[in-house]
Amino acid sequence: MVQIENTYFELGNSSTRNCLIICDRGVMDASAYISKDKWEKMMAGNKWNPVEMRDNRYNQILHLVSAANGAEDFYSTEDHACRSEGVDLARELDYKSAAAWVGHPYFDVIDNSTNFEAKMNRLIESVCQKVGIDIGDRLQATSRKLKYLVAMLPPDSEFPPFQDFDVVHHYLQSGGPKVQARLRKRGQKSHWSYIHTQRRPNVHGQARIEVKTQLTHRDYMNLLAQRDDAHFTIYKKRRCFLINNQYFQLDIYKEPGHPRCKGLVLLETYSSLTGDALKNCMPKFLNIVKEVTGDPDYSMFNLSLKEDWSTTKKFCRTATHGKQHEQQMQQEKQKQYHPYDDTSD
């Protein structure tokens, strides 16, 4: 699998055209089908580590939940030469395959909460968003980012299997007052991945533009020279876990940092669910205080500001659309206004 993928990766790198390489299964999937001891022996024998083989090797992971989990009436082994598992075993293997990718920074779970056509549209939409293709209204927008304030973390034993990462964010000097740029270093056991993110304001009525670029360590170190002294460096422990077919990231802010970040814990997920369906899939073992999606007080950009929020002109306010946007623009016309929010990291 590794050799075949490497061949296509090299072909893509050598092409003069833009290439999207889609891997049906990835290296980490193999860990769901062999014992933990055999997997660890294979990793050690090939000098692999999870950060390289899971986080750096693939730009995005999409797990399509098996019909055996949530759409059992459509699960069948007939006319499938490679499928022999019954529903229970298929459900177990599906969970193990998803769990193998827990921790990847761009991991989307496409469940069976809709019909198959809508499921495929959600898949396409997710890929388009990641590669920066504007799909307009051709596909119904479904998934949205949600953020929650969490208090009093439970002991680790209360969590389902999880992956912990050290995360460091630096905001950079930008090319204009309406542009944000930042660096992220994310890793485990001294193995790191590096991402450069640039956010630009709305253009011609389109949604804000966000460009994420994977970096080498050398490029990361070079860009660090552009750090913005108006911001503290943000240090976090990020805990990633999967529960109820929903992928969650728990950000636990660490020192050093601004006092406003002391003890701060934020839970993030992407979901198209609403109401009771959303409530039922949330982690019951967490003490969720309130939803803070879009709240500028919990924007990482604002949390990292060194200046006092009540006096600084750099505070980033949340964007709205349509009539609400016009009303807010009128209310904020005497203040510096950013035409986009900064609730993602």
- Domain identity same for 159 and 283: yes
Residue 111 lies in a domain: yes
H or E element at residue 126: helix 116-131
Residue 109 lies in a domain: yes
118 exposure class (CB count in 10 Å sphere: 0-12, 13-18, 19+)? middle
User: Each residue of 179-189: pLDDT tens digit?
Assistant: 889 999 999 99
Q: What is the count of structural domains for the chain?
A: 2
**Cβ atoms of 231 and 171 closer than 8 Å:** yes
- Domain identity same for 81 and 163: no
Residue 203 lies in a domain: no
- Domain identity same for 96 and 225: no
- Domain identity same for 109 and 164: no
- Domain identity same for 249 and 108: no
Of 103, 131, 159, the position where a domain reaches its end is 131
- Domain identity same for 155 and 100: no
Q: What is the pLDDT of residue 118?
A: 82
- Domain identity same for 156 and 275: yes
Residue 328 lies in a domain: no
User: Each residue of 59-109: pLDDT tens digit?
Assistant: 999 999 988 888 777 776 655 555 567 888 888 889 999 999 999 999 999
User: Each residue of 231-285: pLDDT tens digit?
Assistant: 999 999 999 999 888 889 999 999 998 999 999 999 999 887 888 888 999 999 9
H or E element at residue 64: strand 61-64
Of 131, 154, 180, the position where a domain reaches its end is 131
Of 79, 107, 131, the position where a domain reaches its end is 131
**Cβ atoms of 62 and 110 closer than 8 Å:** yes
Domain span at residue 34 reads 1-131
> CA distances (Å), 90 to each of 68, 85, 94, 143, 207, in order?
6, 5, 6, 26, 39
Closest residue by Cα to residue 60 from 110, 121, 94, 17 = 110
212 or 264: which leads in pLDDT: 264
- Domain identity same for 43 and 81: yes
- Domain identity same for 106 and 255: no
- Domain identity same for 225 and 279: yes
Specify the pTM.
0.66
User: Each residue of 159-178: pLDDT tens digit?
Assistant: 999 999 999 999 999 876 67
- Domain identity same for 149 and 297: yes
Residue 200 lies in a domain: no
CB contact set of 88 (below 8 Å; sequence gap of 6+): 68
- Sorting pLDDT into bands at 50, 70 and 90, what band is 217? very high
DSSP-derived letter for residue 122 is H
Residue 181 lies in a domain: no
- Domain identity same for 72 and 159: no
Q: What is the pLDDT of residue 186?
A: 95
Residue 137 lies in a domain: no
Q: What is the pLDDT of residue 139?
A: 60
**Cβ atoms of 277 and 111 closer than 8 Å:** no
Residue 82 lies in a domain: yes
